[in-house]
Structures are given as C-alpha cells and as structure tokens.
Structure 1
Amino acid sequence: MPASSNAAKAAKLAAKYGPHAVAAAKVVGPAAKEAVETQRKRVANRNAAFDKARGLAAGSVLRQREGDEVVFVVFAGDEPVAAYPEVVTPLADLVKRANLSQRVTPEQHDELRVSKRAGRAARKIASRAKSSTKDDPKELGSGS
C-alpha cells in the first residue's frame, strides 16, 4: 500500500475517532497513570529486596500483602530482616501465618526471569514465522 493512502487512512481515522480518544484519555488517564506508578514502585521494591537478599547468607524473599500493599520480606535463613517497602507492622507479625515454603532465593528469581524472557522470545519468533507464511502464497501451497 502506498504511503499516501496510509496517511489518508490515518487522517480519516483520526478525524473519526480522535475526539473519542481524547475524552477517554481524560477519564482513564489519571487512573492509568496511577496504576503505572504503583507497578513501577512494586518492581523497584522487589528489586531492592532481591538485592538485599543477595548480600545475605541463605537470603530469600517472600511476597506478602499488608492491606492493599504488596510487601517483599527479606529473610536471612529463617529470620525476617527487612521489608520493602518499609512497614509499621513488626516483621514477625507480618510473616506469622505466611507459608514460608513460598520464599524465593535470588538465584531462583533470576532463573525464572530468564525462562520467562526465553518463552516470550520463542513466542515472538513463532508469531513472526506464522505471519510471514501467511504473506507468502508458496508457503501456503497455492503456488506451483
């Protein structure tokens, strides 16, 4: 498709749906911005917890909830030593009824991240291969 017809199509869509997009952004924008900021803080806290656990003997991290907040509790052996973000609740009370078998070591966390990344890359490659065979009629068997 020529670039000029793509530009014309984009202009038509912008004229048709632009006002709706602006209205939706005004309504949803602040909530979306807050959700993104919450997730950014959660990732920063998780990374800080695993960095702390790497420096400890037998360090591990347990994800807990305190109210509406996700807290990452760092353990040295079986003793809780820190929480990210910091909480007012004593660590012993925070993990009193927790399932300690769900703690994750920094090495396990790294392995999980690598395997998830590899899975995403494999799916992306498969998706690209699938879409390229759609475009090539010889691959579909319609050619001679």
Structure 2
Amino acid sequence: MAYSMYPRSMSVSSDGTVRAQVPTIIGHLNKTASTPMDLTQIRNVIKKELSLFGPTTMAFPVSEEFLHYSSGVFRPYPQDNFEKRIVYWHVVRLIGWGQSEDGSHYWTAINSFGEHWGDSGEHQNCLGYLLVILFLTQKRAELK
C-alpha cells in the first residue's frame, strides 16, 4: 500500500483507463486534526515514521542538477521555477535526518545510482525542498 502526503491517483490497468486513489498520511492526519499540520509537524511525523518503522521509500521530482550531485546537502539551483525543470520522478530509500553546519535540516537517503554517485551512494536533501513533495511507502501500523 502506498501512502503519500497529497491526494493523487495511479493507474491500475495496463491501458491507463482504470485509476485508484492513493491514501495519504498527511491527508488523514489533517482530516482528523482541528487544524492542518505545518511543515514542522509534517517533518516530525516523518521522523516518527523512521524511528518506529525504520527506512522507508520516498519519491520526489528531480531536475538535471540532481543527476550531478556529489556531496553535501542537495538543494535545487536555482530554486526559482523548479517545477518547470523537473526531468522525472525518482525513488530513494529514506534512512535518517540531520542538521547541517548552516542550521538547515536534511533527510539522508540511499540512492539506486550506485556507490560512485553522491556520497558513496548516499545523499542528503534539504528538508524544505522535500517536505512539499515527499511520498512515503511502508508496511506499517498506525502512528501513535
């Protein structure tokens, strides 16, 4: 079962005519709360997911500069008009989080590009960038 932050649908037939709505973690939490969650609360839900259930997957849109990432916290550059520069959607294994020397928060993930890409196959993504576009999948129990 896939869980995403924002409602979306996916094809369940080879010709693309039959689509299913994908349930959302943040959508469910926002429906049951008195006010929508802010980015800090969303970040804490994702951290709790990692702490309770271990690594999970995350899909996000990437631009050309992501393919050339080598180290440090990845931030799309320039950040303006990022949506127009999306090349494709990519999936990585989310394994943790941290805070860089400049104080920005990031997610740590393992990529499928191999050990010669990024930091020996790992990379760090700026939290602000990914919070808006993050999707989680996990065999999981309910968050408590």
Instruction: Choose between structure 1 and 2: higher helix proportion.
Output: 1
Question: TM-score, normalised on structure 1?
Answer: 0.25
Considering Cα pairs closer than 8 Å and 6+ residues apart, tell me whether 1 or 2 has the greater RCO. Answer: 2
Instruction: Choose between structure 1 and 2: higher strand proportion.
Output: 2
User: Looking at CA atoms only, which structure, 1 or 2, has the larger radius of gyration?
Assistant: 1
